[in-house]
Amino acid sequence: MKKDFLSISDINNLTLDAILSETAVLKDERQRGIKQESLSGKSLAMIFEKASTRTRIAFEVGMFELGGHAIFLTTQDMQLNRGEEIRDTARVLSRYVSAIMLRAYHHQTLEEFAQFSSVPVINGLSDREHPCQILADIFTIKEHFNTLKGIKIAWIGDGNNVCNSLLLSTPLTGIELTIASPHQYLPNPKLVASVQSKGGNIHITDSPEEAADNANVLYTDVWVSMGDEKQRKSRVNAFQGYTLDMNLVSLASSDAIIMHCLPAHRGEEITDEVIESKQSVVWDQAENRLHTQKALLKELLLHP
């Protein structure tokens, strides 16, 4: 049976370990100039409803470096823009390509695509989750600390799609996650309760200082995500006091690292001083999107 990757919870801890191990191999081989052709003859259709930098480039370069081919498409380029149904597009693309990556406004679009596709469908971002980002984040943390279990992450800011995927990953990793957000922007309580029932170590607070206390990782994201622009003023007002600055960094563990999935709005959710500090691993985190997405493609296409 084909495997989809719509959510970080679509994989188990054994598959996660395999992806992380393969990521380390692929990163090392790339640095040493060793080429792989393991996806030779395979094609990836990449469909974008939303703009993209890291997701698009990492998948496109990743397919190229593995000997495959990536096709960039926006919905404006396709008959979807003229009313063709998702299920029809999914069926047709499945006859042409080896996998489909979709970056969508609504998670339901991904679910319908996967339902009618006979090849793997990958979530390149939706309003509900961003699992490809979390693969890179988990790898970056393990790369830095050489472990995942017991690592304390402070998520400071919007309980958005990235936060949801991070939250869902905790039963797989043993990471302890504290989410600090204004009440109205916290993750769905039912989701939190569900993850906790599966062994996720999750804490909720409205205090950035409480979250940052003795944390190993300080993580933030934009306050206004794509699709939320009409709420910009109210969101910026609500998140006053949630800026990741050096005062919060000083509360964390002395070896704490700073993470941000980018793009960053410096001066809003994070200060320039923090993102440019020696503790920032933001650029490693961004680079690792390439390596983890290559490992994910191999997992989906070579190990059905």
* Per-residue pLDDT tens listing for the chain (304 residues): 799 999 999 999 999 999 999 999 999 999 999 999 999 999 999 999 999 999 999 999 999 999 999 999 998 889 988 889 999 999 999 999 999 999 999 999 999 999 999 999 999 999 999 999 999 999 999 999 999 999 999 999 999 999 999 999 999 999 999 999 999 999 999 999 999 999 999 999 999 999 999 999 999 999 998 777 888 999 999 999 999 999 999 999 999 999 999 999 999 999 999 999 999 999 999 999 999 999 999 999 999 7
261 counts as catalytic: yes
- Residue 110 CB burial class (10 angstroms; 0-12, 13-18, ≥19): buried
Superfamily of domain 8-130+288-302: Aspartate/ornithine carbamoyltransferase (3.40.50.1370)
289 counts as catalytic: yes
- Pinpoint the residues of the chain covered by CATH 3.40.50.1370: 8-130+288-302, 133-285
- Residue 71 is classified by DSSP as E
Which of these is catalytic: 107, 133, 137, 163? Answer: 133
Which of these is catalytic: 130, 235, 260, 291? Answer: 130
235 counts as catalytic: no
For residue 81, what pLDDT is reported? 84
221 counts as catalytic: yes
CATH number of 133-285: 3.40.50.1370
For residue 226, what pLDDT is reported? 75
Could you tell me the two tokens for 2?
């084909």
**Alpha-carbon distance 144 to 165, whole Å?**
20
Which of these is catalytic: 235, 289, 291, 293? Answer: 289
Which of these is catalytic: 221, 285, 291, 293? Answer: 221
CA–CA distances in Å: residue 14 to residues 18, 136, 143, 168, 171? 6, 17, 18, 16, 12
Nearest to 100 by CA among 118, 79, 85, 122: 122
**Alpha-carbon distance 174 to 165, whole Å?**
14
CA–CA distances in Å: residue 280 to residues 7, 246, 249, 304? 27, 12, 11, 37
For residue 297, what pLDDT is reported? 98
CB-CB contact of 47 with 105 (8 Å):
no
Nearest to 114 by CA among 87, 75, 95: 87
Phi-psi region of 161 (alpha: psi -120 to 50; beta: other; left: phi over 0): alpha
